[in-house]
Amino acid sequence: MNSYVTGTTIKTLREKQHMTQNELADLIGVSHKTISKWETAKGLPDITLLEPLAKALGISVCELLSGEYIVNGNVSANIVKSKLYVCPVCGNIIHSVGEALVSCCGISLPALEVEETDDAHAIEIERVENDYCITLPHEMRKHHYLSFVAYATTDKFDMIKLYPEGNARVRFPVKGHGQIYYYCNKHGLFAKKI
């Protein structure tokens, strides 16, 4: 990560927990003067204190370092509203049900935004008995291919990984209304409601 915890972040989170500098200091085993130094940008917490500091402030170490704490407003976790992330270095695919701070290969990843569908990224969905048969007439070459196809409903998320020079056809058992997501390594994420 390219950032380190700031005094403003520590102070904001401490106040949000309705804690005094003394109370926070007691929780992590430092003096209240140390907390004051951190909050006024006259010092930084040692790396060994990040985990206890994050725990005392009720957030993850990643949230503490980024200064962006995540509040899950989507407690019911409707999977259709999933967030997807793809690492540009290793190709790792990460799925989250709500807001998340995601990093891979040392890079903070933004959630993918659904792109406007065009002719090159059209999708054909046919229902055959109890399956959706999905055909994606997209080239599947080494440098331009579809990486995955996923089917999300309110309570399930299924993903099928695709590979270059493979077939861009998949089948999913019908589970009701939802969304099909598919990801082109050059043009991004696309989606179609079913």
Name the residue among 161, 167, 178, 114 with its Cα closest to residue 137: 167
Q: What is the pLDDT of residue 1?
A: 41
- Sign of torsion, CA 186 188 189 190? negative
**At CA 149, angle to CA 148 and CA 152, rounded to 5?**
130
Residue whose token pair is 């997807």: 84
What is the full per-residue pLDDT of the chain (194 aa) written as tens digits? 446 788 888 998 899 899 999 999 999 999 999 999 999 988 888 888 989 998 999 888 877 887 766 655 545 556 777 899 999 999 999 999 877 888 899 888 999 999 988 888 999 999 999 999 999 999 999 999 999 999 999 889 999 999 998 989 999 999 988 999 999 999 999 999 99
Phi-psi region for residue 58, left (φ > 0), alpha (ψ -120 to 50) or beta? left
Taking only the tens place, the pLDDT of each residue in 66-94 is: 776 665 554 555 677 789 999 999 999 99
Beta bridge partners of 51: none
Distances (CA, A) of 141 to 86, 96, 171, 188: 19, 28, 21, 16
Distances (CA, A) of 96 to 60, 78, 81, 155: 16, 11, 9, 13
How is residue 136 written in tokens?
């994606």
Residue 16's H or E segment, with its range, is helix 7-16
